A = this chain, B = another copy of it.
């Protein structure tokens, strides 16, 4: 007889849901739709020539080794380069602190594996990255939400949450996805002190940290933690599990990211990765190393920052021009997203099909809220569309909002 598959699935499988963003992207991928929905880098800034040269060099010089199985921790020269690159921001990490993952989504999944048994509590920002919620929902996580303002997580409201014994705090301190806001140094310090006092790990997700277009750099939470602990030496053994990625610095299609954490966490993550996919593509790791080495990543970052910084300015100007009174938005200093708050009577999910009908798309903000609120919010991506299309798309959205509000 045919298998009743649905009845066969595990508890974990029953908790899995399709990504809302993914379902939305299906509708918004028509060529005539101007999409602010995805989280896609601008394809114009991908360093194609560098990838061509690197692929050729790797296959020529590393040869068969680039196509063979390799170690679970990751390609050693790439990890060494990440250690050196991270030292620019004050991060001191040894090789034993660094694990390569197949994109940051894999790191988020591994955090679920390592820390979350069903019913465990996780502290998250409200709103927060929905890919993290999707990964951890499957492990049966429950969420304690901390509100945000224009300076990110309200760390003054954190202590009560920490008293509930969460497994970790999930923070996106710089140009947060989805809100675009950034935590100032004082809040990072308060976060580190409170996490230390209550002995709760901090997961710092930092995909956009280097994509700053205006304002001053702020050290990563990991560095604040190093300073708080007065650490010296090259090994990191503090409270923070730091995630970053090549997806925004080079290209996302190669699926390459990294984790920096205490070596006990990394050792357990290596075990998780052995069972999950053995290792990340040897070829991609070697190619990314050849692309990124010798300072290319910093040179290329200037191109990215110039492109995205301009698009952000264009979007902010267009919002001022076209969006009606009663609608507000964040003014990020970097990253790829900004956040729109509509009057409470509007529901962004209901607006979306009307927007797609006039060939413009966004992501409703609701799914980024682990507590089910946020129906009147939306996330706008400004990295992927051209300045011209940003002007046109925001004008269309503004017209729709005016009609809805009148």
Contact = CB atoms under 8 A, between A and B. Distances in A.
Contact of A13 (B4, B115, B201, B255): B115
B281 A254 contact: yes
B10 A117 contact: yes
A162 interface: no
A137 B40 CA distance: 36
Contact of A275 (B16, B63, B67): B16
Interface stretch (A83-91, A179-187, A211-219, A263-271): A263-271
A271 B131 CA distance: 12
A48 interface: yes
Interface residues of A, number: 89
Contact of A253 (B11, B102, B283): B283
A277 interface: yes
Contacts of A250: 67
Contacts of A135: 275-276
B254 A279 contact: no
Contacts of A322: none
Q: Name the residue in A40, A56, A281 with the highest tally of chain B Cβ atoms < 10 Å from its Cβ.
A: A281
Contact of A63 (B48, B55, B138, B201): B48
Interface in A256-299: 262, 264-265, 268, 270-272, 274-284
Contacts of A55: 52, 55-56, 59
Contact of A64 (B43, B70, B201): B43
A68 interface: yes
B115 A9 contact: yes
A48 B43 contact: no
Given A59-B52, A277-B105, A281-B253, A199 B19 contact: no
Interface of A: 1-6, 8-13, 16-19, 22, 38-41, 43-44, 46, 48, 51-52, 55-56, 59-60, 63-70, 72, 102-103, 105-106, 109, 113-117, 120, 131, 134-135, 137-139, 167, 196, 199-201, 237-239, 250-255, 262, 264-265, 268, 270-272, 274-284
8 contacts: A1-B199, A8-B201, A12-B117, A12-B139, A16-B268, A67-B251, A102-B255, A255-B281
